[in-house]
Structure 1
Amino acid sequence: MKTGILTFIIAAAIFSATTACSSKATKGGGTRYKARFEVAGMCSNYTFSVIEGRIDPWQVAATWTNPQTNKTYWKAFGITNPCDFPSNIKEGDVFYFEIVPAKKDQQCAVCMAYYPTPEKKLNIKVVQ
């Protein structure tokens, strides 16, 4: 009997610990990061680097070298929502952002010209 209760308590504690994080927290929503707008490539092919905040290393490229300029960036990423990125933020500017879920029916026209960006892309919201 005591073994059964002890097993139940341990199982409940493990379950509670593994589910304590909300889905919002695990997707990055609500966590603020500081970034620098590194490269404003044509057709909204933007490159950014995280300069403050503990971002999941799987979400960004540890290092990325722009093949056009041979310049290397750390914690680099592109964005999946360039039409939501504020036009008043320019290359070299620093800003704060949150990672947000992608909108389902986003109507956004962007030209198709290519400029290299990191493979890792985030859907971000600027939160100055």
Structure 2
Amino acid sequence: MRMNTLLVSLLLTITGWSCKSTAVQNQPATPFTGKLVISEICNHYVVVLVSGKLDPALLTARFYDEKRKSDYSNVFTVESRCNFAEAGISEGDLFTFELAAADYKEDCMVCMAYYPTPPTRLSIINVKKINP
């Protein structure tokens, strides 16, 4: 019996059918639409989800920005700041994006200035501006 359990575990691992428990991996591959609502010093970006079904646990339900005196719903902080900066998105722009894999890492330098952003952070890829 123990040999059967080991064999099944080995087969699941080899074929990629092993259990993975990250919310990002369970999200659909279709692009989402977002709007950049905050773009601040040192690549601090905050995005409002405009369309697409994203696990609510990956979003901050409400966030208030003191500088803009604005309240935002269903937002996240962009974790992949360097990749996002290269996309040329400006505050107010609509864009499509996909979620990066859970193990996505950037290797770039960013400054350490602080700007308050929502606690939820997502790495996003394939960022494409919608409006000209």
Same topology, TM > 0.5: yes
Identity of aligned residues (%): 32
1:122 and 2:122 are equivalent in the alignment: yes
How much is the aligned-residue C-alpha RMSD, in angstroms? 2.5
Q: Which residue of 2 aligns with 1:44?
A: 43
Report the residue type matching 2:107 in the other structure: Q
CA distance in 1, matches of 2:45, 2:53: 21
CA-CA distance at 1:25 after TM superposition: 8.6
Gaps of 5+ in 1: 1-18
After superposition, the C-alpha distances for 1:29-71 in whole angstroms (9 at most, x for unaligned) are 6132100011101101111100111111100011111122220
Q: Which residue of 2 aligns with 1:74?
A: 73
CA distance in 2, matches of 1:88, 1:23: 33
Gaps of 5+ in 2: 1-16
Q: TM-score, normalised by structure 1?
A: 0.73
CA distance in 2, matches of 1:79, 1:116: 13
Superposed, 1:81-92 pairs within 5 Å as 81-85=80-84, 86-92=86-92
Q: Which residue of 2 aligns with 1:103?
A: 104
Structure number with larger C-alpha Rg: 1
CA distance in 2, matches of 1:41, 1:56: 26
Q: TM-score, normalised by structure 2?
A: 0.71
**Paired residues of 2:97 and 2:126 also in contact (CA < 8 A):** yes
Report the residue type matching 1:103 in the other structure: Y
Q: Which residue of 1 aligns with 2:64?
A: 65
